Amino acid sequence: MLKAMLDWQAAMGADEAILDVPVDRHVQATRPKPDPAAAPPPPAAAPSPTLPLSDAADPVQQARQMAAAADDLAGLQAALAAYEHCDLKKGARNLVFADGHPEARVMIIGEAPGRDEDLRGRPFVGRAGQLLDRMFAAIGLARDAKEAAAALYITNILPWRPPQNRDPDPAEIAMLRPFTERHVALAAPDLLVLMGNISCQALLGRRGITRLRGNWTEALGCPVLPMFHPAYLLRNPRAKGEAWRDLLSLQARLRATA
């Protein structure tokens, strides 16, 4: 008990029982207080440093500049890796850039990496990715196809996994959209497939995938087909019939423009 009391007093700062020099409390009480008027003026506050232009730059504008400077997909991936304004990067294990054939006619844009994608550094490799592969194999398309006509090229709006797989916030989407735009321009696909609400929000400015899916539209100079995200289909198997109709619509469009 006594040791515990001593430990508590030490934690409170009472670590000296007897000082080297005695203190006369009566002298301290009668000692005159210093005259504030005679005290020297406090030193002037140091001026606030001016932030370098690069630090003060708008994140979206800097993303546009970095993306525009990329001449090829390797350069774009390097630009994304060097981009420091998105806090998602700090908590992610890997940059998830793309997978598949970069000259494929069909480019799929998903939402953001999940746990499996973050660990492996590739998009759509978890359960949702396995379902995606089966879906597109049914119409003769695969990410590992050697011929561009039968291949897929796959990426996401966000290259880093959000914590707890939360939805990206509007600021994150806005700062990373220039990289997606440049990605599409460099890959130059014939058709875009937007998987889920986040990709539709980012490139079409609209949400509501149950209304958008299956309706062809246009973005970034390409025909666009919104579709259910495979993760949604895993939670709602009854929607697989609608996804199959969308795949047949995509197949027909590819055949008509071959």
* pLDDT value of residue 47: 43
Q: Which residues of 55-68 are buried (b: 16+ CB within 10 A; e: fewer)?
A: eeeebeebbbebbe
At 57, the pLDDT band (50, 70, 90 cuts) reads: confident
What burial letters (b/e) apply to 148-172, b meaning 16+ CB within 10 Å?
A: eebbbbbbbbbbbbbeeeeebeeeb
Least confident of 1-15, 85-99, 135-149, 191-205: 1-15
Q: Which residue has the tokens 């007897």?
A: 18
pTM given for the model: 0.78
Q: Give the CATH number of domain 60-256.
A: 3.40.470.10
Q: Between helices 197-204 and 170-187, what is the axis angle to 10°?
A: 80
pLDDT at 177 over 80: yes
Q: Classify residue 251 by burial, with Cβ atoms within 10 Å: 0-12, 13-18, 19+.
A: middle
Contact assessment for residue 190 and residue 222, using Cβ atoms and an 8 Å cutoff:
yes
β-pairing, 222-227 vs 217-219, is: antiparallel
| Strand locations in the chain (E) | 99-100, 106-110, 152-156, 191-195, 217-219, 222-227
